[in-house]
Structure 1
Amino acid sequence: MDAQLLAFTGVAAGMVAMPGADFTVVVRNALVSRRAGVACALGITGGLLLHTALAVAGVAAVLTAVPALFRTLQVLGGCYVLHLGARTLLSLRRPRPAEPAEAPGRPWPAERAEAPGRPRPAEPTEAPGSGRPLRQGFVTNALNPKAPITFLSLLPQFVPAGAPALPRTLLLALIVVVLALLWFPAVALLVDRLGRWLRRPRAARAVEAVTGTALTVLGAVLLFEAVS
């Protein structure tokens, strides 16, 4: 791997791992179940695949040339993220079961279920009305109009002078997609792994409050940028 590819991989890894709406939506779905979290992560990867394909094809240049289209997508993206945040915050009003007391020396139910000789309980299914995680991940990422413009301005910087542009940009786009395919499912699996603590009523409410607030703020920022 040449120096430019190494540099691009580092920059792309930072972009993918940067906390934002994608990260928050994955965490929110992973708290529902492992399957929901991974599905959401795959949806986000699909959105990134769309953006990188647009950047490679040069279609993203249209967003730069037509400000009204950019603003429209920005408003749609902001509204969707704001909707997810508001719905998460509203879910805090639902009554929750009391947190069971943990007797000294007795393992938490998740530990007992994973003890040798005991089958692991079935994963909880997604709560009614919570939406489809795959669609949530894809729409949250796909409606971010800054992504294709970011890739359109970033990819050419790592194409060596005189080198064929198309194969190189395709390789750079593939690196971004692979990084997302590694990072977001890893986040979902980690959140699920910590679910023993995160799914306790108090912890779950705290995490939902944080993620709901983060999504609401991110959506508000997108809308503010669109109308300012």
Structure 2
Amino acid sequence: MDNYLLFVFMSILLIILPGPDTAIITKNTISNRKAAGMKTTFGTLTALLIHTLAAVFGLSALILKSAFLFSILKYVGAIYLIFLGCKSIIILMKKQNHASDANDHQRKYENKSFFRQGFLTNLLNPKVAVFFLTFLPQFAGKGDNALLEFLALGLTYTVLTLFWFLIYIYLINLISEFMKKPSTIRVVEGLTGGVLILFGIKLAFEQN
């Protein structure tokens, strides 16, 4: 495996760059505590494993070569991000107009979807599939063990993502007293909703 340490270094830089995964994990951690952030993270990690296997078995290459399949995945992903953004803003408006028992009921309902949010946000992002097909091969060999090396790189990226979000969620909880104030949560809900909608629109209008 060529330049493994360089791969680790580059992966860390890419992982810490904010994106849709970071936005949804931030919102869920602040609004619904650490457990929600962890469930969202594990959803993201599961999607990364699927992207890794898809790249190893050539499914991502098929999507990349087919403009139709790529567009379908892109638009479904964009719609889902916009949906999450709108849902966040709607929840914010409801929290301003309902009593605390209604908020508790809403939080209990949301708790069932944390894993799904992280999973679908990552899985439906075709840019992740493109990333795995363009970035990972630069560090994998070209011999008989290429597929195993490809798989090892994908697993490394997934583990690094896990470590980063564990640290990230821990840091959020360190300042939980401030971050979990109702006024702060409202700001985060609104900003995250707007950011997810922008990510969705950006994804929808990107060229294949």
Class of the TM-score when normalised by the shorter of the 2 chains: 0.7 to 0.9
| Shift in Å, 1:193 | 3.1
Between 1:30-39 and 1:217-226, the stretch displaced more is: 217-226
Aligned partner of 1:202: which letter? S
Partner of 2:90: 90
Please give the alpha-carbon distance, in whole angstroms, between the structure 2 residues aligned to 1:34 and 1:154: 31
Partner of 2:67: 67
| 8 A Cα contact 1:37 1:189, kept in partner | no
Partner of 2:38: 38
| 8 A Cα contact 1:58 1:152, kept in partner | no
Partner of 1:206: 187
Q: Which has the higher helix share?
A: 2
Aligned partner of 1:127: which letter? R
Partner of 1:176: 157
Q: Deviations over 1:31-57 (max 9, x none)?
A: 112111100011101111111111122
**CA RMSD in angstroms, aligned pairs only:** 2.2
Please give the alpha-carbon distance, in whole angstroms, between the structure 2 residues aligned to 1:188 and 1:143: 23
**TM-aligned CA distance change 1:18 to 1:125, over 3 Å:** farther
**TM-aligned CA distance change 1:4 to 1:28, over 3 Å:** same
- Unpaired segments ≥5 residues, structure 1: 98-123
- Unpaired segments ≥5 residues, structure 2: 98-103
| 8 A Cα contact 1:74 1:144, kept in partner | yes
Equivalent position SS for 1:166: helix
| Shift in Å, 1:125 | 8.7
Q: Deviations over 1:175-228 (max 9, x none)?
A: 1011111112322232233221111121111111211111111011112226x9
Partner of 2:78: 78
Please give the alpha-carbon distance, in whole angstroms, between the structure 1 residues aligned to 2:200 and 2:75: 9
Higher Rg: 1
Q: Where has structure 1 moved over 6 Å in runs of 4 or more? A: none
Partner of 1:127: 107
TM-score (norm 1): 0.80
TM-score (norm 2): 0.87
Aligned length, in residue pairs: 200
Identity fraction in percent: 32
| 8 A Cα contact 2:2 2:140, kept in partner | no
